Structure 1
Amino acid sequence: MERLDKRVAGSLTRFYVVALCVVAMLTISGLFLIRRTISSLNHDSRVVNVAGRQRMLSQRLTKLALLKVNKTPASDSVRFSVLLNQWRTSHEQLASRRLPIEDGVVTWKSAALDTMFSELEPVFDEMHSQFLAVDSDSISSTEMQDALQVILKNEPLYLDQMDKIVFQFDKESFQRLENLERIEWILGIMTILVLLAEGLLIFRPVVNTTRRVVRMLTESEVALQLSNQKLKETNLQLLDIQKELLVVEEEKYELQLAEDRIRAASLIEGQEEERKRFALELHDGIGQMLTGLKLHAEKLKSVQFHDEKNQKRFEQLVSLIQDIIQTTRQISFNLMPSVLNDFGLTSALKLLCEQTTEVSRAQVDFEGDTSERIPMSNLMETSLYRIAQEALNNAVKHAQASRIKIKLEHTRNRVILEIADDGKGFSVDDLKTENFPVTSGNGMENIRTRSQLLNGKIEIISKIDGGTKLVLEVEL
């Protein structure tokens, strides 16, 4: 125990000494960087030089303007326009507080200098415009003389203001230098004080506290190992319990799925039986009575009506009876088409396409072999027919398709039903993934439920404005 305490304390002592050395080195480096920053103030001399050069350029431009107005040859080799552009550029750089140098751009902030340049701006603009007038060859001698007088009048004001600006630059540069020197001394003294405080107030307490904490941790190590052993045993027991719970949950989920399928199958079977019964009632009951009514009405055609209006009403009555008979037959067919039981799925789908084409604006085509009946159970035939009927209804009413194709293929052990349309389409990701009951009124859910009951593989391919394609594959 004691060896561990001493070893930890010695390591911490060495680390802390290294840390103190690093702090000292950082402090010295900070002082060095401050000295380098002070040396960077040499850029201020460049600003002062540019400001002083502005005075020289204004005097030089005034001299050249005077010589040009008096038509005296000048010994100055630099063009007047070049000097004027240099004078204007330097003024804009100083006024905007951005002066380019060899290795970058010098910027500064000074409310006093901004005020001075604001006061100088009207004088500079007046002189600059008059210099441009003197440099122009399109004005008369009198106008040149007037421009020269304006320049001579404003030059003393410009030079006086530039003197103030130069002195202000120099004053601010000296103040920055003094501030940096004061900061340097303050940082040095504070660093020394921090080092002394660390040694007296932190180093020794940290060592003592660390030694005590390490002793306590060492003493509790054995107890912790025992607790860990007990926790491992408890965790193993919990893992076994979790595995058993997972098995129970999976069995419960499978059982619930099976119950849902049985319930859905029973519900669908009940619906189909009710539809069949109701279709027979319509066909054999109301349909026969309407047919008899139509026959009796047709026998009355030979009767002469004295009133022409009664004759038209009778004709309308006969036509209405015929429409009711046709509607009743259509409803009976939709509930349970007799051709499905008599001739099989292929013939029923072909007749469904023909009738849908007649009553809707869409062109519905069927592709399949109608020469033989596919051997399958009545439940499978009914389910496939309802799936095709639901998909066709969705394509006509919701997708607003103009062309629909139903294709039925079969091999020895497989049936493939395909319904494709050129309608509006939809996003497949928006389809619900939960298993809703068939009575919810959701067409896609009805299709999905029936396909699950058949143990079929269903694939829905659709995109916005790209049509929809439904492919169902069922094993025989």
Structure 2
Amino acid sequence: MERLDKRVAGNLTRFYVVALFVVALLTVSGLFLVRRTIRNLNHDSRIVNVAGRQRMLSQRLTKLAILKVNGIDHRDSVQFNALLALWKDSHEDLVSRRLPIENGFVTWKSQPLDTMFQELTPVFDRIHNNLLVIDRDSVAVSDKQNALAEVLAAEPQFLSQMDRIVFQFDKESFERLENLERIEWILDLMTILVLVAEGLLIFRPVVNTTRRVVRMLTESEDALQLSNQKLKEANSQLVETQKELLRLEEEKYELQLAEDRIRAGALIEGQEEERKRFALELHDGIGQMLTGLKLHAEKLKAVQFHDEKHQKRFEQLVTLIQDIIQTTRQISFNLMPSVLSDFGLASALKLLCQQAADLSGIRVEFEGETGERIFMSRPMEIGLYRIAQEALNNAVKHANADRIKIKLEQNKNRIVLEIADDGKGFLISNLKSEGQFLTRNGMENIRTRTQLLNGEIEIVSKVHSGTRLVVQVDL
């Protein structure tokens, strides 16, 4: 079937394209010939008009010459010399076969007309020269009368010859029209033959092929219905199997997600325990030792140093010990702030904002109720605090912000944590396409902690319009 379709389609396409091309060619040729003939007929009428006008001009010039030689008054307003120049120019245009029209010139080719104009030229020159003599005021009256006699003698011959020229123009125009009619008949006949051939070579094979294909389709319809019934039964079994496989895959995926979530939760919980232990070690161990070192150093302040340089070095040492103690306390607070377990999340976030503002010089604000503690589980408090801490660090390091705001509120049975800045912002699409960007800015850690809390996260950011991160967790 497929090979038959391709073969039939190829043959029909070739025949149809050839037939359309021939019909179009014949139609365009006929239109071209008709338009060209119409244009030529218009030009022929212009030529006949000019040739007929020459007869009229010669008679008018003869009349004006008679009136002028005899001194008879007349009401003809045309100038004799202007009319004579027009008559001469028109004759030269006809002789040169180049007649000016509005958009150019009309040219023609005719050996009989060329011969007639050659025979007419001596008669025209004779009349024209005598008319020039009559037009001159300095010529004697007797000479003008002789010239007028020459004009009257040559005028019948000129008019007769012009009649022949006009009739020849008309004859050639009629012959071109008859030639166009013959060509039109030929083109019409060829178009009819092409249409007949198209019916025999294209439409008849199409009918035969269609009849054969329909018969083949009718014969195969029963077999196809039977095959469809079998396929339908097999498809039903396949759908059931696919549903079962899909259910198993979903269960496997859910189980894998649960395992990943438990593993991540255990990892984060272990990290938090390790941070807590390390913070206690710093605070109770190194912190106490540094505090003792500071006390001993302060006792040595009473000792008088003989060298002023030694005194300055001792003061620098005391300052350095104080800076180390402050840095140790800051590290211990970042690892596990004691205010989080003593006073709750709101107080810890407020203290975090104050420390960030002191260290970075950026205006960091906290909005929330610190007087009344929101009761939530210990992992939830730690998770939300780490999310706020990570987002705040991102804003300080990357956003180039002038103002950062952390907002904590309880909406019925839901905790809403919002971190917003007025920094440079970023394209949300970069979070999906640039893995290094996610790791560098801690967004993946924030999402992971939000998922472990069964919460929802929303990130709104535009370039040069700041960033807003909202985390919502059910109590």
Shared fold per TM-score greater than 0.5 = yes
Mark the CA change 1:206 to 1:402 in structure 2 (over 3 Å): closer, same or farther: closer
Distance 1:388 1:197, change over 3 A: same
Q: What percent identity do the matched residue pairs reach?
A: 72
Kindly tell me the number of residue pairs found equivalent between the two proteins.
337
CA contact (8 A) 2:460 2:468 kept: yes
State the alpha-carbon separation in 2 of the partners of residues 428 and 357 from structure 1.
27
Tell me if the contact between 2:279 and 2:335 (Cα under 8 Å) persists in the aligned partners. yes
> Residues 40-79 of structure 1 correspond to what in structure 2 (within 5 A)?
41=39, 45=43
Give 1:239 deviation, angstroms.
2.1
Matched with 2:425 is 425
2:262 & 2:377 partners in 1: Cα distance?
18
Deviations 1:351-384 (A, max 9, x none): 1111111111211111222212211111111111
User: Helix, strand or coil: the match of 1:405?
Assistant: strand
Aligned partners of 1:208 and 1:358: how far apart in 2? 94
> Aligned equivalents of 1:198 and 1:339: distance in 2?
97
- The 8 Å contact of residues 38 and 177 in structure 1, kept in 2 or not, is answered as no
Partner of 1:267: 267
Q: Who is 1:329 aligned against? A: 329
Greater shift in the superposed pair: 287-296 or 299-308: 299-308
Pair 357,215 (structure 1): closer, same or farther in 2 beyond 3 Å: closer
Instruction: Give a deviation string over 1:53-101, Cα, whole Å, max 9, x none.
Output: xxxxxxxxxxxxxxxxxxxxxx89xxxxxxxxxxxxxxxxxxxxxx99x
Alignment of 1:300-449 (within 5 A): 300-411=300-411, 413-432=413-432, 440-449=439-448
Report if aligned partners of 1:34, 1:184 keep a CA contact under 8 Å in 2: no
CA distance 1:107–1:347, shift in 2 (3 Å): farther
Could you tell me how far apart the structure 1 residues matched to 2:314 and 2:398 are? 40
Aligned-partner Cα distance in 1 for 2:342–2:214: 92
Structure 2 unaligned runs (5+)?
1-19, 51-76, 79-100, 106-172
SS at 2:370 equivalent: coil
Matched, 1:450 2:449: yes
Letter in 2 for 1:390: E
Q: Residues 460 and 205 (structure 1 numbering): CA distance in 2 closer, same or farther, change over 3 Å?
A: closer
Show CA shifts across 1:194-246 (max 9, x none). Answer: 34544555566555555544443333332222222222222222222222222
Preserved contact between residue 361 and residue 402 of structure 1 (Cα < 8 Å): no
The 1:216/1:457 distance shift into structure 2, 3 A limit, reads closer
Relative to 1, partners in 2 of residues 1:187 and 1:228: Cα closer, same or farther, differing over 3 Å? farther
CA contact (8 A) 1:405 1:420 kept: yes
Instruction: Give how far 1:263 is off.
Output: 2.1
C-alpha separation in 2, matches of 1:264 and 1:34: 85
1:282–1:328: 8 Å Cα contact kept in structure 2?
yes
SS in 1 for 2:351: helix
Deviation at 1:333, TM superposition (A): 0.7
Larger mean CA deviation between 259-268 and 407-416 belongs to 407-416
In structure 1, the partner of 2:469 is: 470
The TM-score with structure 2 as length reference comes to: 0.61
Are the equivalent residues in 1 in contact too, given 2:418–2:470 (CA < 8 A)?
yes
Return the alpha-carbon distance in structure 2 between the equivalents of residues 305 and 456 of structure 1: 63
In the alignment, the residues of structure 1 paired with residue 21 and residue 234 of structure 2 have an alpha-carbon distance, to the nearest angstrom, of 50
CA deviations 1:33-67 (Å, max 9, x no partner) are 55653465369749989xx9xxxxxxxxxxxxxxx
Name the SS for the 2:373 alignment partner.
Answer: coil
Contact in 2 for aligned 1:38/1:180 (Cα 8 Å): no
**TM-score, structure 1 length as denominator?**
0.61
Output the CA distance in 1 between the equivalents of 2:393 and 2:441. Answer: 12
State whether residues 414 and 474 of structure 2, in contact with CA within 8 Å, keep that contact through their aligned partners in structure 1. Answer: yes
Q: Which amino acid aligns with 1:361?
A: G
Cα deviation, residue 475, structure 1:
1.6
- The answer (yes or no) to whether the contact 1:425–1:468 under 8 Å persists in 2 is yes
Do the aligned partners of 1:41 and 1:177 also contact (CA within 8 Å) in 2?
A: no
Asked if the contact 2:423/2:464 (under 8 Å) is kept, the reply is: yes
Q: CA deviation at 1:315?
A: 1.4
Moved over 6 A (4+): 22-32, 46-49, 176-183
Counterpart of 1:70 in structure 2 is none
- Which residue is equivalent to 1:131? none
Distance 2:24 2:243 in 1: 59
Measured in 2, the distance between the counterparts of 1:43 and 1:386 equals 98
Measured in 1, the distance between the counterparts of 2:185 and 2:200 equals 23
| Aligned Cα root-mean-square deviation (Å) | 4.1
Query: 1:320–1:26: structure 2 CA closer, same or farther, 3 Å change rule?
Result: closer
Shift of 1:464: 1.6
SS in 1 for 2:432: coil
Q: CA deviation at 1:346?
A: 1.2
Give the counterpart letter for 2:39 in structure 1. L
Query: C-alpha separation between the residues in 2 aligned to 1:428 and 1:304?
Result: 64
Give the Cα–Cα distance (whole angstroms) in 2 for the partners of residues 445 and 471 of structure 1.
Answer: 15
Native 8 Å contact 1:34 1:180 kept in 2: no
Alpha-carbon spacing, 1:312–1:179, altered in 2? closer, same or farther (3 Å): farther
- AA of the residue aligned to 1:349: L
Taking the aligned partners of 1:326 and 1:46, their CA distance within structure 2 comes to 114
How far the C-alpha of 1:403 sits from its partner, in A, is 1.2
1:271 Cα shift?
1.5
The CA distance in 2 between the partners of 1:287 and 1:23, in whole Å, is: 99
- Are the aligned partners of 2:30 and 2:184 in contact in 1 as well (CA < 8 Å)? no
Partner of 1:241: 241
Q: Is the 8 A contact 2:395 2:421 kept in 1?
A: yes
Distance 2:41 2:390 in 1: 85
Deviation (angstroms), 1:182: 9.0
Looking at structure 1, the residues matched to 270 and 45 of structure 2 have their Cα atoms a distance apart, in angstroms, of 98
Displacement of 1:446: 1.5
Q: Equivalent residues in 2 for 1:118-267 (5 A)?
A: 184=184, 187-198=187-198, 201=201, 209-267=209-267
What is residue 282 of structure 2 aligned with on the other side?
282
Contact 2:413 2:474 in 1 (8 A): yes
Q: CA deviation at 1:26?
A: 9.2
**CA separation of 1:380 and 1:180: change in aligned 2, threshold 3 A:** farther
Answer with 457-466 or 389-398: which moved more: 457-466
**Which of 30, 37, 53 is the aligned partner of 2:35?**
37
Counterparts of 2:379 and 2:332, CA distance in 1: 19
Instruction: State the 1:340 CA deviation.
Output: 0.7
Q: Once structures 1 and 2 are overlaid, which stretch shifts more, 188-197 or 294-303?
A: 188-197
Q: Is the 8 A contact 1:349 1:366 kept in 2?
A: yes
